[in-house]
Amino acid sequence: QRAKSAKKSFEIYNPVFDENTLERLFLTNSLKQAIEEDQLTLHYQPKLCLATMTVSHAEALVRWQHPEKGLIPPDEFVSIAEKTGQMAALTRWVTKAAFDQYLTWQQQGIVINIAINISAENILDESYPDFVINLKKQYQLDDNAITLEVTEDAVVDDPKQATKMLSYLRDNGFKLSVDDYGTGYSSLAQLKQLPVQELKIDRSFVQQLENDENDKIIVKSTIELAHNMSLSVVAEGIEDEYTLNWLKEHNCQLAQGYFISRPLPSAQFTQWLETTHYQVKRVNYNK
Ligand code: C2E
Ligand code: MG
Ligand code: MG
Ligand code: MG
């Protein structure tokens, strides 16, 4: 069906990298060099507003286009960047590239918000919040144009500092989302304290939802929990129409997954926006 026919060549890469090999490679061909030589690239995956079936956000997902190794997925180098002290540089590159893309779409009259993934380290690093806040001013982006997706580990590592930094970002017009919700170890007491606006339910609870009653119970109660705490909810990992409809019926606000679209390089994403049967918001500047 759709999910299967959407399997294009973009996701093809040589699988199975021995972490040590990759670590050596990463250190030799340092991130700085990878950035200078334009070896990092962002793919974009839509988030759909279920009430209106409108494409409301695009999540930026980094890949390393290695000259010999091909397209390396983030799971194989983000943790190495973390271990080798290169996360600050990586996230700054991703942020800048995503902001540039926001402006490009804006100039084309496409109204879409962008979500950026940031790691625990960035939140606990004093300088990233000022970097992203200054960039937002420089680019004159509206409040809530950018969502920052943060995983729970940032909160668990240092709840006080994380809360402080997240409040600072929120007060400067960023929308904050807890990514992979349900897989981390934050307590409800911690969640209650967090100045976030959105929970993103981990795909492990969503992918098999049709045939798993426990997943249905978990997702349903997470949606209710979020709404009771005045948070919006995103479900990731929607791979079939049944799940999309089920989530819509259960008042989940946003949906993301291969059934809607796989992550695509920016040019293909723009093309997808032209052809999709979902709604796309546009502004016509020529009127
Ligand atoms: P994430 O932020 O939770 O992103 C969702 C991941 O799930 C993406 O994998 C996406 O391709 C995949 N996915 C989306 N829909 C489906 C689906 O329907 N089925 C299945 N099986 N998978 C789906 P990807 O792009 O490989 O990224 C993996 C993780 O790497 C991300 O998880 C995020 O934690 C991290 N990551 C990606 N880009 C960045 C970045 O720029 N900075 C940081 N710090 N982390 C990043
Ligand atoms: Mg994410
Ligand atoms: Mg996630
Ligand atoms: Mg994830």
Residue from 8, 40, 78 whose mutation best tests the ligand 1 pocket (most atoms within 8 A of CB): 78
Q: Residue 196: is its pLDDT beyond 80?
A: yes
DSSP-assigned states of every residue in 246-267:
HHHHTT--EE-STTT---EEHH
CB 219 within 8 Å of CB 200: no
Q: Any idea which of 9-13, 267-271, 275-279, 283-287 has the lowest mean pLDDT?
A: 9-13
Q: Which atom in ligand 1 lies closest to the alpha carbon of residue 94?
A: 41
DSSP secondary structure letter of residue 210: G
- Per-residue pLDDT band for 33 (boundaries 50, 70, 90) equals confident
The residue among 54 and 126 whose pLDDT is bigger is 54
Q: Which atom in ligand 1 lies closest to the alpha carbon of residue 75?
A: 30
Rounded to whole angstroms, how far apart are CA atoms 157 and 104?
A: 36
Output the CA 285–ligand 2 centroid distance in Å.
32
Condensed to tens digits (0 to 9), the pLDDT of residues 121-168 reads 898 888 999 999 999 999 999 999 999 999 887 777 788 888 999 999
Share of the chain above pLDDT 70, in %: 93
The residue among 286 and 203 whose pLDDT is bigger is 203
- Per-residue pLDDT band for 286 (boundaries 50, 70, 90) equals low
Rounded to whole angstroms, how far apart are CA atoms 267 and 220?
A: 36
